[in-house]
Chains A and B, each alone.
Chain A
Amino acid sequence: MASVKIQDVRKSFGGFEVLHGVTVPIEDGEFVVLVGPSGCGKSTLLRMLAGLENITSGTISIGERIVNDVQPKERDIAMVFQNYALYPHMTVAQNMGFSLKLRKENSAEIDKLVNRAADILGLRNLLDRYPRQLSGGQRQRVAMGRAIVRDPQVFLFDEPLSNLDAKLRVAMRTEIKELHQRLKTTTVYVTHDQIEAMTMADKIVVMHDGIVEQMGAPLELYDHPDNKFVAGFIGSPAMNFLEGTLVGGEMPYVETANGSRLPLAASRAGLDGKPVVYGIRPEHLEFADDGVEAEVIVVEPTGSETQIVARIGKQDLIAVIRDRRAVKPGDRVKLRPVARAAHVFDKENGKRLIN
C-alpha cells in the first residue's frame, strides 16, 4: 500500500494538450474516483499512472518514488480494464496466476495465492473455465482476481462496470467497495457515472476538459459544488438551473426573466444586479402556496418518489416530490425552492457565488 501524488501533470498528443496541469493527492488506502464526461482526460490520467502513457510534464509518485520513468511492471500496480482484458486462451486460474508465473513464483505458491483470491471473490469452482465460458459479472470478478493476486501497492480501475447490466452494476459496486474495505489497498477508479463515484468514493475528483473542477468527499461535492459544472454533473436527476438577476437586501432573491422570485437564504454585498444562474436540486423543490407558479409538463412516478417536469416561463425544471399528490400534465402548480439549499453561480464563468 502506498500514497500516490499526481503533481501538475500535463499530457499532449501531438502538440494537442488534453491534460492541463492536474494535481491530485491520494492518501494511503484511499478510494479515489476520477469522474467526468467522456473526453475529460480521466482515462488518460489513469493510464499515465499505470505507465501505459508517457507523462508530458509534471510528476507522478507512488509512495516516495517518482515513477515517471519507471516501467509499468516495476510500479507495483494492478489494473482492471473496461473490457476486462482476460487472456482468452488461459483458464481463470491461469489468468489470475499469469503475473506470478512471470515473476517465477513456484507453482505451489501460485496455487495458494490464486486460491486465496478465488475464495475472496467466490471464483473457486470456476478456476478451470475459460473466459468465454463466463458471464459478464464472473469475468469482471476474474479481472479483479488477477489484480488481487499480485497484492499491489495501488489498484487501478478503468470504467470496470460499464459493460454490465444495470442490476449487476449495482451488485458489483457493493462488491468492489467491500473488497476495498477488506484489503484497504489504495485505489484509483475511473468512471463517467456519477452514481458510482458518489457511492464508492472516499474522495471524488471531478474532471472536465483536462482540468480538475473540484475534488472532495462525495457529500461535500453534492452540497457545496464549486461551480456550475460540478453542480450539474453530480446528482441525479441533475440540479435545475434558472437564469436571472440577483437582488440583495433583507430577503435576497434571484429574479428570472418572467418575474418569478427565487428565494435565497443569504447574499453577499456587491452582487446586486449581477446576472447569475440559480441552482436548485430537484429534491429541494416543494409544493407551497407562496411558491413560483409553474406548469406541469410530464409526471414520472418511480414508486418511492415522483419526478415532475415543470415549466417556469421558458425554463424547464425537475422536481422530485416524495408525497403522492395527484398532479397531471397541464396543471398549474406552485413550487417553492428551499432557500437554504439554493446555489448561485456567476453566469459568465460558472463559479459559485453563494453557498
Chain B
Amino acid sequence: MTAIDIKATPRVSAGLGAWQRLMINRNWIAAWFMLPAAAFLILFLAYPLGLGIWMSFTDIRIGRGGAFVGLENYEWLYEDGVFWLSVFNTLLYTLVASAIKFVLGLYLALLLNRHMPFKAMIRAAVLIPFIVPTVLSAIAFWWIYDSQFSIISWSLRHMGLIKQNINFLGDSDWARASVIIANIWRGVPFVAITLLAGLQTVSPSLYEAATLDGATNWQRFRFITYPLLTPIIAVVMTFSVLFTFTDFQLIWALTRGGPVNATHLMATLSYQRGILSGRLGEGAAIATAMIPFLVAAIMISWFGMQRRKWQQGENND
C-alpha cells in the first residue's frame, strides 16, 4: 500500500485540489491517525493538569468559583509547618521505601531467575501483593498493626521480647516505619517481576564466558548482571519512585496522615485541604508542588542511567 502511495502521489496530485492533496499527504495522514489518541490525552491528562495548576493560583473553594490570587497559596504553604512536614514525610517515605524495594526486588529477581522446582507457581505467588486491591491489603495491615490485637505485638510478647504492645500506628516513628513497610510489601513484586524479565534477556553464554574468564558469583553479578540490568533498573525505579511519591490509598486507609501529621504525604495533605476542607486552590497548590520533585526524578533516571553508550552504537552489519 505504501509503495503504491509513493508512486501515485506525484502523478495524481497534480490534478487535485489543496484539500485532496492534504488528504493523501503522508504526514497529514499520520496526524489524522494520531488525533484520537491525542484527544484522549488532552482531555484526561493535559486538561486536568492544566486546570490543577491554574486552580493553584486562585482561591477557588468547593461550590464557589475563585479569583486569581497569584502566588498567595504558595506563600501560605511556605509559612506552613505542616506542609513542610508533609514534604519531609514524602521524601523520607519515597527514598526509604524505594531503596528497600530495589534491594529486595533485585534479590528476589535473582532468586527467581534460578532453576528451582515449582518455578512458575513461586513466580506467580510473588505477584500476590501486587494484585490484591490496595485498600484490602491496607486493612489487613491495619489489623497487623492494631494497638490491641496486633499479631506482631502478640508474637513478640509471647517470645518474651517485649512487655507491652507496640503502638504501631499511634507513635510517630513507628507509624512512619509501619506505612513504609506496608508500601514495600506492596511494591516489591512490581520491581522483582520487572527485573526478572530483564534478567531473562541476559544471554546465559555471557555468564559462561565470564565463568571461564575466572569470575566468581559476585563478580558475575557485579560486572555482567548489574551493568546489563541498569537500563531496566532505571525504568522500573523511575516508576517505583513516581508511584511511591504520589501514594495516597495506603496512607489514607492506614493512618489518614496521623498521628499528628507524622505520616501525612503531600498527596494526602492535598486531598485533606482541597477536598475535605473544601479549599481547592490550596489543595491544588500542594499537588502542583509535587511536580518539580517528579520531574527531577524523571530527569535523574533519564540522564543518569538510561543513556548508555553501549546501547546506542550504530549497527554496521
Contacts and interface: CB of A to CB of B under 8 A. Distances in A.
B223 A52 contact: no
A81 B211 contact: no
B228 A132 contact: no
Given A88-B228, A98-B223, A130 B212 contact: no
A167 interface: no
Contacts of B213: 73, 98-99, 102, 146, 150
24 contacts: A50-B208, A51-B212, A52-B208, A52-B212, A72-B212, A79-B209, A81-B205, A83-B205, A85-B205, A85-B209, A89-B308, A98-B223, A99-B213, A129-B313, A130-B309, A130-B310, A130-B313, A132-B311, A133-B314, A134-B316, A134-B317, A135-B316, A146-B209, A150-B213
Contacts of A136: 317
A234 interface: no
Contact of A99 (B205, B214, B310, B313): B214
Contact of A103 (B209, B214, B227, B316): B214
B310 A73 contact: no
B27 interface: no
Contacts of A99: 212-214
B contacts with A: majority SS? helix
Contacts of B164: none
Interface string B221-260: 0011001100000000000000000000000000000000
Interface residues of B, number: 25
A87 B308 CA distance: 14
Given A89-B227, A98-B223, A133-B316, A73 B212 contact: yes
B211 A83 contact: no
Given A52-B212, A87-B209, A135-B316, 18 more contacts: A52-B211, A73-B213, A73-B215, A77-B212, A81-B205, A81-B208, A82-B205, A85-B205, A88-B228, A89-B227, A89-B228, A102-B213, A102-B215, A102-B219, A132-B311, A133-B316, A134-B316, A146-B209
A78 interface: yes
A131 B309 CA distance: 11
B20 interface: no
Nearest to B207: A85
Nearest to A83: B205
Most buried by B among A72, A81, A89: A89
A132 B224 contact: no
Interface string A81-105: 1110101111000000011001100
Contacts of A131: 310
A210 to B, nearest CB: 22
B299 interface: no
Nearest to B205: A85
A85 B206 contact: yes
B315 A132 contact: yes
Given A83-B205, A135-B316, A50 B212 contact: yes
B2 interface: no
A73 B316 contact: no
A136 B227 CA distance: 23
A223 B239 CA distance: 67
Contacts of A135: 316-317
Contacts of A83: 203, 205
A89 B310 contact: yes
A73 to B, nearest CB: 4
B110 interface: no
A131 B214 CA distance: 21
B49 to A, nearest CB: 37
Contacts of B223: 87, 98
A51 to B, nearest CB: 8
